[in-house]
Amino acid sequence: MRTFFCFELPESVKREIREIMSSIDSPAYVKWVSQENLHITLKFLGDVNSKEVPEIERTAKKSAGQINPFEMRIDKLSGFPNPGFPKVIWLGSNSPPGEIFRLQEDLGSRLEDLGFEKEKRDYVPHVTLGRTKDENESKIEQLGSELKSHKLGTNWTVSVDQLTLMESTLKPSGPEYDPVFRLDLGNSS
């Protein structure tokens, strides 16, 4: 099964983010993430055997127990690899909380001990909104200009109190996400 760790978003925030996505003047070559799949990405694991899940859960529980619930302000619209050339369009924070980095680092280190690969890129907490499906550089740069000039009319403060291991099943209609397990933050028992 294909899996990743994330923080789920409240339905009310997902609806508001969907409205933001609708307000971006987007060309047809942008593939938007469905509202139900919006989440804050923490760590992509890739394919795991279902027999590995109990050990992954025990490991993740240790990391989750060390971090108390926290809040994250979502107030930034940007893109990867950079805002001027967005292959991925995302929402994030101008000042992400330290807890999210500590959790990502601790979890990543523990998962490395289980044989999972260490992330090579710096972690940027974000909600993926969409991906460009066109390799035409001028079109992507034009989208980058749109993103830079787009003003977020609102922002959100999200309470983060659970860590979720999500299974991603790829279907013709797009990925379908199902929680494998949820762990409360700050619950070290």
pLDDT (tens, 9 = 90+) of the chain, 189 residues, equals 999 999 999 999 999 999 888 877 666 678 889 999 999 999 999 999 999 999 999 999 999 999 999 999 999 999 998 888 888 999 999 999 999 999 999 999 999 999 999 888 899 999 999 988 767 778 788 888 877 777 777 888 999 999 999 999 999 888 999 999 999 999 765
Which residue reads 């990867």 in tokens? 80
β-bridge partners, 66: none
Question: At 94, phi and psi to the nearest 5?
Answer: -70, -25
Tokens of 87: 């292959």
Residue 171 belongs to what H/E stretch? strand 162-171
| Catalytic site includes residue 126 | yes
For 85-121, how does the pLDDT look when each residue is reduced to its tens digit (9 = 90+)? 888 999 999 999 999 999 999 999 999 999 999 888 8
| Catalytic site includes residue 150 | no
Task: In whole angstroms, give the CA distance from residue 51 to residue 55.
Answer: 8
Catalogue all structural domains in the chain, each as residue range(s) with its CATH number. Answer: 2-184 (3.90.1140.10)
Which one is catalytic: 99, 126, 130, 166? 126
Task: In whole angstroms, give the CA distance from residue 167 to residue 30.
Answer: 24
Residue 140 belongs to what H/E stretch? helix 137-149
Task: In whole angstroms, give the CA distance from residue 73 to residue 80.
Answer: 19
By the 8 A CB rule, do 21 and 129 touch?
yes
Which one is catalytic: 39, 42, 45, 104? 39
